[in-house]
Structure 1
Amino acid sequence: MRLRLITLLLLTSGLLASACGGGPSSGPQSPPSPGDAASPGFTPPDGPPGASPSPVQGAPQTPKPSSYAHEWAVSPTGDDAAAGTESAPVRTLAKALSLAGPGDRIRVLAGTYAERVLITDSVRAGTAEAPITLEGVDLPRIVPGSQPGALVAVERPHWLISGFEIDVQNKAAFAVAFSGDTEGTVLSDSEVHHAQYGAGISFHNGAHGATLEKNHIHHISIPNKDAHGVMIQPTSRNITVRDNVIHDNSGDSIQCYSTDGSDPSTPADGLLIEGNDLYGNIEQSIDIKTCYNVTIRRNKMHKARRHPTLGGNGAMVVHLSARDVLIEENDFYDAGLAIGIGGNRYGPYPSGIVIRRNLIRDMLTEGGMTGGGLQLAVSQGTQLVNNTFTRLPGPAIIMGNGDGGPTESLVVKNNIIDVPQAMQVGSQAPGLTTGSNLYRTGATFLKAGAALNLSQWQAQGQDGNSREEAAPLDPKTLSPGPAAVDRGERLDLEASCGAGPDIGAVESNC
């Protein structure tokens, strides 16, 4: 198991966009107070919450073709018997879709279109060299028509869909459903809202290679039931969800789903969740159930409050039998808890989870929330390295309480834990390894009901080379204080910029 975990760290180290200075607070900027729109985790969104966020620095964006083989036009005042030109547009999206071929662009003029958009086997596929572009002009609005089903059904590869308002008007339907061969297909720069269904956007039935990018997804809601902004379902693979604003849903912003045991389908495999602003849901910002090979990078996860009847208060969870999940360079704040690992389990333990270079700060205790950082329940070999915890009224790390099984072989190294309650350790944390952490002076460790100081904790065989410091980080920039610079243990994660790696989420002097 130890060899497998080291291999995972080596394999995932190349996923960092920047080895140095690319962490959640790479510049001399003030971290926001809870609920502030700014974040040191990535380039802040332009404008108020709900605006499309700026691209993540270093994240590849989907290029648009510079020229087109043929251009078609659609207008609510057009005629499907017309030529489909700018001066003689067709009236329906269905007609335009039937005309377009590889390399073409369909320009959809402003107005309301009460019809389903079926990019299915009745239309042509694009190619990697010549995608088909479906482009809204001044945010044309797609609303439910007379036919039931998803407003936009996408089953073809290499379609670039952008610039629409997709308003489900509280009907029981997906706004957008991806399935089958969707390699290279992108939905971008659109607003998706008010579906009263299990998800606003769903990937299922073998959907693969598709991307959601720079969309505003909100108010996907069923009274007293789960409804998620985006759901990645079994048999989906290689899906990217990047630079979106997703909020105010009755479930999660993003859920990767498989039920363990009751669903024989292959779990989703290969998911990148990057650079999103996720907040204000009844459940979590991100929920990873049994999914494999997931990267969660440079997201903001905040405003996770306990619902008076439905509960919830955490920014994200990883549970059931999730496997090989990398959580890095995210900014967690304004919630009751940053991350929960394990808890619900029917099959194998969650395993191969790496949590590194995250900011975990400014949590809350109001309404019964814990105000803590991480709650680590049943899991195997989780690595918690180079994170920064600060301004938490609750414990930074809770582990080993036996929720569903042991917190087995947890590694906690190179973290700045600027919190009065550093750890709360239950009786089921076999193989716990801690070291090279930097704690606030006077931090306590709760074990078997006794509050220990660092010296007493070390006397029990833990944290032999960790230290205390009155000022472990800069309270304004959250960059490491002098006691953390070049003092971390080399973990084969990435190159450092000094004599050694820094402790905490931010590598200085790069």
Structure 2
Amino acid sequence: MNTLSKRTVVFALPLLTAIATSASAATFYIAPTGNDSAAGTESSPWHSLARAQQAAKPGDTVYLRGGTYTFTAATSSCATRRASVSGVVLDKSGQAGQPIRYWAYPGETPVLDFAAMKDDCRVKGIEVTGDWLHLKGLEVTGAPQQPGNRLNHESWGIWINASHGIYEGLNLHHNMGPGLFIKDGSDNLVLNSDSHHNYDPYTSNGAGQSADGFGAHVSAGHPGNVFRGCRAWANTDDGFDLINAYSPVTIEYSWAWDHGYLPGTRTSLPAGNGNGIKAGGYGGKYVPNGVRHVVRFSVAFGNKVSGFYANHHPLALDFTNNTAFANGSDFNMLGIAPDGSPVYLGTLRNNLSPSPSTLKVAGADSAHNAWDLAVPVSDAEFESVSKLGWDAPRKPDGSLPDLPNFRPRAGSALVDKGIDVGLPFKGKAPDLGAFER
């Protein structure tokens, strides 16, 4: 969408400009065939991120050449079988306007593969604790659990406890836990990234219980975390999970489908929750200091349980211009009252579902959605209603592919039927759903 491209440029341009004009910025290189005793140049690259981090300073760029980087052991030993260890630790910070960049070399794909690690505890493939970092174009796979250790929950592809980071163009897959997880920190942007086929078979509370595509469980006082232009599919738990987040998080222009199943099948996993975007909640308990998350311009379909789910959140969440179809429940606004009783909460505007019978929104603040307006949502209103192709290659700039799927056709009853909520739109009024005609 044009809106996505504009928002991305506005956010990233000041950082890139600052880097480009920094006379002291250096460029280093690593490669699977490199040597940490080398010079770190393009013709004589280092081998490891650890060696590159030793040299990198704010404003510098580390290019990862294409190929597979295989990790066989963590940077430290497991203190106990319940401890956590990491394959890579990025703990050196950049500065405002001068992040340290860890980027794929243009036109190449570096694959960081942690599957060969045998550490008998939880594994963070990449642990990020440094602020002002920019990771771009990396493929992260294989963060393992050990079959003989069922004392823990998930491992993680990328685990973040840092602020002001950009995590762009990442491909996170086949990890035994979430592809990317923001444990804490402020103002992180996860941009144009994919997380799919993550499955935690040895989690202590059931196979598939904790392998989300993306998660953010940040503490109070850490606002500004955003997922933009991201896709999550075929993960065994949820696509996006904001449970126990005590600072506001935004999910926008993102897609989530086929969750809660054994990856690549329609075999239900009993422990896998199976929601597309789980936008809140505090473990089913009422808390007085819950926060308001935002989900907008996003799509959820084919999920075992809910497309968009409030997850017992104690106050109304914002759901604006989203499209849901073929989920167990397209929109489920189940909240929780101060006395612990169930109540339906949410502020819903300009959303679209072709199956009103699946909605659980009674009592929520629902207005100007397709079901409120009694707008017809038949197949004829869209250019295509295909469930296929959503994982198509991204555009050269990394943004989502242009698909006809569930986009209003010319003359559709969905066009200009929404209400202005202060967000960009074309025409006389916003269209209903995630896509503007």
Unaligned runs of 5+ in 1: 1-41, 44-53, 259-266, 307-311, 364-370, 390-411, 421-473
Aligned AA (1:136): A
Which of 49, 55, 58 does residue 99 from structure 1 map onto?
55
Cα shift at 1:480 = 5.4
Superposition map of 1:93-492 within 5 A? 93-115=49-71, 116-120=87-91, 123=92, 125-137=93-105, 138-144=108-114, 145=117, 149-168=123-142, 170-171=144-145, 173-179=155-161, 182-197=162-177, 199-204=178-183, 206-223=184-201, 224-226=207-209, 227-235=211-219, 237-258=223-244, 267-282=245-260, 283-290=274-281, 292-304=291-303, 306=304, 312=305, 314-342=306-334, 347=340, 353-361=346-354, 363=355, 372-376=357-361, 382-389=364-371, 415-418=373-376, 477-479=411-413
Aligned AA (2:369): N
Cα shift at 1:169 = 5.6
1:176-229 Cα shifts (integer Å, max 9, x gaps): 1111xx3220111111011122x222112x322111111110011134432211
1:315-347 Cα shifts (integer Å, max 9, x gaps): 121032343411111111232321011166774
**Most deviating of 81-90 and 219-228:** 219-228
Greater RCO, CA 8 A, separation 6+: 1
Matched, 1:66 2:66: no
Counterpart of 1:81 in structure 2 is: 37
Change (3 A) 1:220 1:503: closer
Cα distance in structure 2, aligned partners of 1:344 and 1:135: 43
Aligned AA (2:347): V
Cα shift at 1:289 = 2.9
Indicate conservation of the 8 Å contact 2:376/2:413, yes or no.
no
Secondary structure of 1:375's match? coil
1:88-123 Cα shifts (integer Å, max 9, x gaps): 211111100111001100011112223422112xx2
Unaligned runs of 5+ in 2: 72-86, 146-153, 202-206, 261-273, 282-289, 379-407
Aligned AA (1:154): V
Indicate conservation of the 8 Å contact 2:295/2:320, yes or no.
yes
Cα shift at 1:417 = 4.3
Q: TM-score, normalised by structure 1?
A: 0.59
Cα shift at 1:502 = 7.0
Cα distance in structure 2, aligned partners of 1:77 and 1:238: 39
Change (3 A) 1:341 1:230: same
Cα shift at 1:170 = 4.8
Counterpart of 1:438 in structure 2 is: none
Indicate conservation of the 8 Å contact 1:256/1:268, yes or no.
no
Cα distance in structure 2, aligned partners of 1:335 and 1:80: 50
RMSD over aligned CA atoms reads: 3.4
Cα distance in structure 1, aligned partners of 2:431 and 2:100: 45
Cα distance in structure 2, aligned partners of 1:493 and 1:338: 22
Cα distance in structure 1, aligned partners of 2:431 and 2:168: 35
Aligned AA (2:413): S
Cα shift at 1:66 = 3.0
Indicate conservation of the 8 Å contact 1:340/1:374, yes or no.
yes
Cα distance in structure 2, aligned partners of 1:158 and 1:495: 28
Secondary structure of 1:376's match? coil
Change (3 A) 1:478 1:387: farther
Change (3 A) 1:195 1:176: same
Cα distance in structure 1, aligned partners of 2:125 and 2:412: 45
Change (3 A) 1:335 1:57: farther
Identity of aligned residues (%): 17
Residue-pair matches, total: 338
Q: TM-score, normalised by structure 2?
A: 0.68
Indicate conservation of the 8 Å contact 2:336/2:343, yes or no.
no
Cα shift at 1:77 = 1.9
Aligned AA (1:111): G
Cα distance in structure 1, aligned partners of 2:366 and 2:295: 14
1:411-433 Cα shifts (integer Å, max 9, x gaps): x6xx234489xxxxxxxxxxxxx
Indicate conservation of the 8 Å contact 2:124/2:143, yes or no.
no
Change (3 A) 1:61 1:303: farther
Secondary structure of 1:149's match? strand
Indicate conservation of the 8 Å contact 2:141/2:175, yes or no.
yes
Change (3 A) 1:419 1:101: closer
Indicate conservation of the 8 Å contact 1:320/1:347, yes or no.
no
Cα distance in structure 2, aligned partners of 1:333 and 1:477: 21
Cα shift at 1:350 = 6.4
Aligned AA (1:272): T
